[in-house]
Homo-oligomer: A and B are copies of this chain.
Amino acid sequence: MEHHAQHDPAAQPTDAARGTRAADWNQGRVGLWLIGARGSVATTVAVGVHALAARVAPPTGCTTSGPGFAEVPLPGFDEIVIGGHDLSTTPVGQRAEQLAAAGMIPPAIVAAVRDELDVVDAEIRPGYDPTTHPGSQAEVVARLAADIVAFRERNGLAHVTVVDVSSTEPLPADRPEFHDPALLAAAIAEPGVVVLPPSSIAALAAVEAGASYACFTPSAGLGLPALRAIAQPRIAFAGQDGKTGETLLRTVLAPMFVERGMHVLSWAGANLLGGGDGQTLADPEAVRSKLASKTRGLHSLVGEHVVAPLHIDNVPDLGDVKTAWDHVHAEGFLSSRITLQTTWTAYDSMLAAPLVIDLARLLSLAGAAGVVGVVPALGSFFKDPWGSDVHAFADQATALKSWAADLGEQVAVRDAAAAVERSEDAAAPAAEPAPIGGVR
């Protein structure tokens, strides 16, 4: 059977808020804590969640609103509460108005959720700036974790998912502490010493707060071996670097060449973008991590021999519109020349935001199921999937749907059993739900 697109613009806004709750979510409201909460992606997430909750826009662009997820019990858009950390002090509402003026978000949608954006902004706390913080990094972790816990308690949330959408950092030089949890613990306890980059401090805070975590950037985050070892038994997590544009296309197209026995010789790429991300990536140090994560999948799919020059240029006049041109040269039958060019143009944050919402919904489900450790089944969302070698998008999409369906069923069965038990023994105190083993 084919996955037909279903899109009835009249009907969708009406159903938007409950998302895919054909199967009901019984766990209560959940939190989405954004690192970089006043950035372009985060602002689009905030506008979007409230627009979908208010049914003023359909959930176009959300993976979890597709037919494959209809039976999976995921939190509705109106059950997601947003907060986060940022260094910027420009309020989310004002940023949204700027994005509307630049032609990215329809002004009517921003207007419709303007009040909710102020509520979000009130849940944003100062992030970690290593240039101004005097104490130990362990203190910072504790402070950030406390912010997350307070957010959870203040809002009565069943679960919180942290998603890092802050500015891409330069990759730190390797050091022994990155490979040894004990060494690391000692190092970050020393005052005035900077061991970890901010993204890793934020990731540790998520672990500390017992929140699920997704790394949407190519920064170090939870990717350092010592951090992954710490997180593995404690929280569900996934990464790394959102797969939204050129890289998505590549992992869709490359398997075609392979299936057809064509030999890809080169795959060159040019990316033009402005906006905040363009500015950050104009820094040759910062861009290095991005370029590496963009190329890894390609090599894995078509072979290490492929010649793959890749550039990201900051073109401020393009604003938030990103244009990516790729040129593929493959050898076909009897050495014949095959070329493919693709030009992809989109508002980058509009591609990223629905995936952040998808991750929040899916990691909430994982949290409800007691899943801990890396979640390779979320690989379709990332350029550089943690815990997996699979880059081919179609394979990833299939794996995601089957994982979500299984998990949803387990949660539903457990909830049903608990309901029976509750009705049998109404006086007994609510037990912590047992973690579901199969998915660890």
Chain A interface residues toward B at CB < 8 A: 1-7, 44, 47-48, 51, 57, 59-66, 103-107, 109, 248-249, 252-253, 255-266, 268, 270, 272, 300-303, 305, 307, 309, 311, 313-318, 323, 325, 327, 329, 331-347, 350-351, 353-354, 380, 389-395, 397
Contacts and interface: CB of A to CB of B under 8 A. Distances in A.
Given A3-B255, A261-B62, A334-B47, A315 B305 contact: no
B345 A342 contact: no
A62 to B, nearest CB: 5
Copies in the complex: 4
Interface-central residue, A2, A107, A389, by most chain B CB under 10 Å: A2
A276 to B, nearest CB: 17
Contacts of A311: 270, 309, 311
Contact of A389 (B2, B265, B307, B393): B2
Given A340-B344, A392-B3, A260 B63 contact: yes
Contact of A395 (B59, B257, B314, B394): B394
Nearest to A9: B263
Given A57-B334, A60-B331, A260-B61, A2 B390 contact: yes
A404 to B, nearest CB: 13
B61 A261 contact: yes
Contacts of A255: 3, 252, 394, 397
Given A65-B261, A302-B5, A315 B329 contact: yes
Nearest to A257: B5
A390 B253 contact: no
Given A4-B303, A300-B4, A303-B7, A261 B354 contact: yes
Contacts of A256: 248-249, 252, 393
A262 to B, nearest CB: 6
Which 10 residue pairs of A and B lie closest in terms of their CB atoms, listed nearest first? A394-B394, A61-B333, A265-B317, A309-B313, A336-B350, A270-B270, A5-B303, A338-B346, A341-B343, A61-B332
A261 B66 contact: yes
Contacts of A318: 266, 329
Contacts of A336: 61, 104-105, 346-347, 350
Nearest to A392: B2
